[in-house]
Chain A
Amino acid sequence: MKNRMTSMTKASKDNLGTILMLVAAFVIVEILRAAGLVNAHMDGMLVPICVYATMAVSLNLVVGILGELSLGHAGFMCVGAFASAFFSKCFENSMGVFPRFLLAILIGGIVAGIFGFLIGIPVLRLNGDYLAIVTLAFGEIIKNLVNVLYVGRDSAGLHFSIKDQASLGLMEDGEMIIAGPQGITGTPFNSNFVVGFLILLISTIVVLNLINSREGRAIMAIRDNRIAAGSVGIPITRYKMFAFTLSAVIAGCAGALYSHNLSSLIATPARFGYNMSILFLVFVVLGGIGSTRGSIIAAVILTLIPEVLRFMADYRMLIYAIILIVMMIVNWNPKSRAFIQAHSVGKIFGKKKTAKSGKEGA
């Protein structure tokens, strides 16, 4: 995606700020780790934080930039997680760690992208809340589908079943790869903070560059006024498909990162269910719909809060809810918004500029 602007605009300065923020955070954390100042608890949180921040970037693309509501992003993450873990289990002994993990991430992204594309074909042609309804169903279907899927491997090759383990008819040397509700056990532990950070950084750069490109301006024009965008010749469905599929690919990569961080991958209602999708939506809404940087910050904070509050034992969920409400009020109350906007002139200026150049680009 070529940046067409000749001089450094406010928008690209803003983007550079976001990327610098990520890099600075990475460098600080790495220094702290090298100095031995990060305890095991926080160290273990680093990869999950990258996963959730990437999910926030992914969902922000759909909700904030494209202006459609997706309530099934956990489903895409689930697809990516299972596809990549399946690949890694199959090729664990026949490939080196680096090429296999790289391929696993790509496969996670591609498979999730294919699902996003297939869902988009009928739904994104429609106008209205249909995407929300369909993605909601998609997330639930994927969760249940994974729970009845049995895949095993023996010397004769792969065996599939959606009934039970016994009907696979595995030979003596066989091993289960996906065991229905037990999911995938023993995925190699490859994720680390550097990989997680790179996935987050690349996703962020891709999304930010997209926003400031010809395509991005077209996508935002569709969000702002579908009829006007259509009347100037923007192929609406094509751009919507493009943004939605890209979002699914990013979610799939985050899923791959997630599945290679735990040795037991299970699709439970709490994990990869409706609640998870809503959690991602909360990241985006709290971070400010349309703001990639805000979404990342919200994801990091909301992932850390329940863990940091562990010393409060049973009260932490109560406190978590209170913090959510307070953040929502501070973020969306007209007065506090006015205050925030009055103190960040650059942000509002940058947004106007983007919208304007969006029309020019189209």
Chain B
Amino acid sequence: MKRMKQFAALVMTAALTAGMASSAVFADGTFKLGAIGPLTGAAANYGTAVVNGAQIAVDEINAAGGINGVQIEYKGEDDELDNEKSVNAYNTLKDWGMQILVGSVTSGCSIAVSEKTKADNMFQLTPSGSAKDCTNYDNVFRVCFSDPNQGMASAKYMGEHGLATKVGIIYDSSDVYSAGIEATFEEEAANQGIEIAVKEAFTADNNVDFSSQLQKCMDAGVELVFLPIYYTQAGAILQQAAMLGFQPEWFGCDGLDGMLDMDNFNKELAEGVMLLTPFAADAEDELTQNFVAAYTEAYGVTPNQFAADAYDAIYAIKAACEQAGATPDMSVSDLCEALKTAMTEIEITGLTGTITWTADGEPDKSPKAVQIQDGAYVSMQ
């Protein structure tokens, strides 16, 4: 029992010290930025990527003198991919003195929190909340493409480049992201003269064996299979298709980003896969390379698009604050009003492209289409 007490005391002290170290006290007059995302649980890699990506941007900005000479204080809170916990995290950050929110990472949480930021009139910029309803309120902006936007862009790209006329879709009907893309893709496909021959769904409880879905695509003789899903399932689909000897064209969205880094995944299977993604970790430009180097050094993994979205979110806030001439002594509500206007006036060149915003919170940037060749992304035209 005594040992246990000692251990408990040790853990408590360690945790307290860690907590204090991370919130180093600056001179009064700092911008307090909060981030919310799933840091534990099944979606932890998304939340962690956002919190870490934002941290890198914050460190860079602080090292370069801050926003208009004002340093940023930054804190990330966990929401466990749960709407209710996300609101709790928001309230915690509010008690801490947060002035601007970067979050939440996932759509449902972001919608739940936007109800609260609306009531408090706090400026909210979600890096990756892609569902349409995330930006229902005028104080909420996002960095990523919306789901409908991605579905639309995918169908347009296929139509304009004449990739295929007979298409099969395999998607996750229990996932907001996947179902959201699928719905608009279907609408736009009709306009592009693309025939959707097969549409097969799976759910989160049933996402290991895809042989029946693939068999149906094979029987219908589709030329291209559209995969608006995350890379874990897409990897399994590619593996099982190879076993069946099924070789259509594959097309996906930004959810496929990360496939090449999967453990035990034969990269040859991904040869020729096309995807629309705002961010590719092995892009040649200096900004991306610096970011990837800094991120890999700090956290030991290659950043994904979530980290890139968060990085851009912080720089967007910096640009908007500078545009509006915001100072940290402004009230949360005044800051929100100033940033709301400033967001529509700025243009930033970030990791995910050159972005401008419309007043309804949507980013205006062009998706990059890439193809996997020899185990690396190659830009398509």
Q: Which residues of A contact B91 (CB under 8 A)?
A: 39-41, 43-45
Q: Which residues of A contact B111 (CB under 8 A)?
A: 185, 263-264
Contact flags B31-47 to A (C-beta < 8 A → 1, else 0): 00000000111100000
Answer yes or no: B92 CB below 8 A from chain A CBs. Answer: yes
Answer yes or no: B186 CB below 8 A from chain A CBs. Answer: yes
Contact (Cβ within 8 A) A269 B176: no
For the complex, what is the distance from the CA of A147 to the CA of B203, rounded to whole Å?
9
Contact partner, B180, options A148, A182, A262, A266, Cβ 8 Å? A182
- Known interface pairs A164-B182, A268-B81. Does A263 touch B115 (Cβ–Cβ under 8 Å)? yes
Nearest A residue to B89 via CB reads A310
Nearest A residue to B95 via CB reads A39
Answer yes or no: B362 CB below 8 A from chain A CBs. Answer: no
Q: Which residues of B contact A310 (CB under 8 A)?
A: 77-78, 89, 92
Contact flags A265-279 to B (C-beta < 8 A → 1, else 0): 110111100000000
Q: Which residues of A contact B245 (CB under 8 A)?
A: none
For the complex, what is the distance from the CA of A313 to the CA of B112, rounded to whole Å?
22
Contact (Cβ within 8 A) B87 A262: yes
For the complex, what is the distance from the CA of A318 to the CA of B39, rounded to whole Å?
14
The residues in A between 289 and 329 inclusive whose CB is less than 8 angstroms from any CB of B are 307, 310-315, 317-319, 322
Answer yes or no: B329 CB below 8 A from chain A CBs. Answer: no
- Known interface pairs A41-B88, A147-B203, A186-B133. Does A314 touch B180 (Cβ–Cβ under 8 Å)? no
B interface: dominant SS: helix
Contact partner, A317, options B16, B40, B176, Cβ 8 Å? B40
Nearest A residue to B115 via CB reads A263
Contact (Cβ within 8 A) A41 B94: yes
The residues in B between 9 and 46 inclusive whose CB is less than 8 angstroms from any CB of A are 11, 14-16, 18-19, 22, 39-42
For the complex, what is the distance from the CA of A314 to the CA of B77, rounded to whole Å?
10
Q: Which residues of B contact A190 (CB under 8 A)?
A: none
Answer yes or no: B83 CB below 8 A from chain A CBs. Answer: yes
Contact partner, B173, options A40, A148, A185, Cβ 8 Å? A148
Nearest B residue to A322 via CB reads B8
The residues in B between 175 and 216 inclusive whose CB is less than 8 angstroms from any CB of A are 175-176, 179-180, 182-183, 186-187, 203-205
Contact (Cβ within 8 A) A44 B88: yes
Contact (Cβ within 8 A) B183 A262: no
Answer yes or no: A180 CB below 8 A from chain B CBs. Answer: yes
Contact (Cβ within 8 A) A271 B82: yes
For the complex, what is the distance from the CA of A317 to the CA of B42, rounded to whole Å?
14
For the complex, what is the distance from the CA of A182 to the CA of B186, rounded to whole Å?
18
Contact (Cβ within 8 A) B173 A147: yes
For the complex, what is the distance from the CA of A311 to the CA of B92, rounded to whole Å?
10
Q: Which residues of A contact B254 (CB under 8 A)?
A: none
Contact partner, A262, options B42, B77, B84, B94, Cβ 8 Å? B84
For the complex, what is the distance from the CA of A99 to the CA of B88, rounded to whole Å?
29
Answer yes or no: B228 CB below 8 A from chain A CBs. Answer: no
Answer yes or no: B146 CB below 8 A from chain A CBs. Answer: no
Instruction: Quote the shortest CB–CB distance from B40 to chain A (angstroms).
Output: 6
Q: Which residues of A contact B39 (CB under 8 A)?
A: 313-314
- Known interface pairs A144-B205, A262-B112, A268-B108. Does A181 touch B176 (Cβ–Cβ under 8 Å)? yes
A interface: dominant SS: helix
For the complex, what is the distance from the CA of A317 to the CA of B85, rounded to whole Å?
14
Nearest A residue to B23 via CB reads A311
Contact (Cβ within 8 A) B87 A181: no
Contact flags B152-175 to A (C-beta < 8 A → 1, else 0): 000000000000000000000111
For the complex, what is the distance from the CA of A270 to the CA of B85, rounded to whole Å?
11
Contact (Cβ within 8 A) A270 B133: no
Q: Which residues of A contact B176 (CB under 8 A)?
A: 181-182, 266
For the complex, what is the distance from the CA of A315 to the CA of B8, rounded to whole Å?
12
Nearest A residue to B206 via CB reads A144
Q: Which residues of A contact B316 (CB under 8 A)?
A: none
For the complex, what is the distance from the CA of A268 to the CA of B204, rounded to whole Å?
9
Instruction: Quote the shortest CB–CB distance from B186 to chain A (angstroms).
Output: 6
Most chain A CB inside 10 Å of its own CB: which residue of B16, B108, B173, B186: B108
Nearest B residue to A42 via CB reads B91
Answer yes or no: A72 CB below 8 A from chain B CBs. Answer: no
Answer yes or no: A192 CB below 8 A from chain B CBs. Answer: no
Q: Which residues of B contact A182 (CB under 8 A)?
A: 107-108, 131, 133, 176, 179-180
Answer yes or no: A189 CB below 8 A from chain B CBs. Answer: yes
For the complex, what is the distance from the CA of A45 to the CA of B88, rounded to whole Å?
7
Contact (Cβ within 8 A) B84 A313: no
Contact partner, B183, options A140, A164, A264, A268, Cβ 8 Å? A164
Contact (Cβ within 8 A) B11 A319: yes
For the complex, what is the distance from the CA of A185 to the CA of B176, rounded to whole Å?
12
Contact (Cβ within 8 A) A313 B19: yes
Answer yes or no: A183 CB below 8 A from chain B CBs. Answer: yes
Q: Which residues of A contact B83 (CB under 8 A)?
A: 262, 264-266, 271
Q: Which residues of B contact A317 (CB under 8 A)?
A: 40
Answer yes or no: A48 CB below 8 A from chain B CBs. Answer: yes
Answer yes or no: A165 CB below 8 A from chain B CBs. Answer: yes
Nearest A residue to B173 via CB reads A148
Answer yes or no: B73 CB below 8 A from chain A CBs. Answer: no
Q: Which residues of B contact A44 (CB under 8 A)?
A: 87-88, 90-91
Q: Which residues of B contact A263 (CB under 8 A)?
A: 111-112, 114-115
Answer yes or no: B80 CB below 8 A from chain A CBs. Answer: yes
Answer yes or no: A166 CB below 8 A from chain B CBs. Answer: yes
Q: Which residues of B contact A40 (CB under 8 A)?
A: 91-92, 94-95
Instruction: Quote the shortest CB–CB distance from A362 to chain B (angstroms).
Output: 42
Instruction: Quote the shortest CB–CB distance from A257 to chain B (angstroms).
Output: 12
The residues in B between 37 and 79 inclusive whose CB is less than 8 angstroms from any CB of A are 39-42, 77-78
Q: Which residues of A contact B15 (CB under 8 A)?
A: 311-313, 315
For the complex, what is the distance from the CA of A140 to the CA of B40, rounded to whole Å?
23
Contact flags A141-177 to B (C-beta < 8 A → 1, else 0): 0001001100000000000000011100000000000
Most chain A CB inside 10 Å of its own CB: which residue of B18, B83, B180, B182: B83
Q: Which residues of B contact A322 (CB under 8 A)?
A: 8
For the complex, what is the distance from the CA of A140 to the CA of B205, rounded to whole Å?
10
Q: Which residues of B contact A318 (CB under 8 A)?
A: 11
Contact (Cβ within 8 A) B179 A307: no
Known pairs A181-B179, A307-B88 / 13 extra A-B pairs, C-beta < 8 Å: A41-B88, A41-B94, A44-B90, A48-B88, A165-B183, A263-B112, A263-B114, A269-B42, A313-B39, A313-B78, A314-B39, A315-B14, A315-B15
A-B contact list, 5 entries, CB within 8 Å? A40-B92, A262-B84, A270-B41, A307-B92, A313-B15
Shortest beta-carbon contacts, A-B, top 4: A264-B111, A263-B115, A44-B91, A41-B91
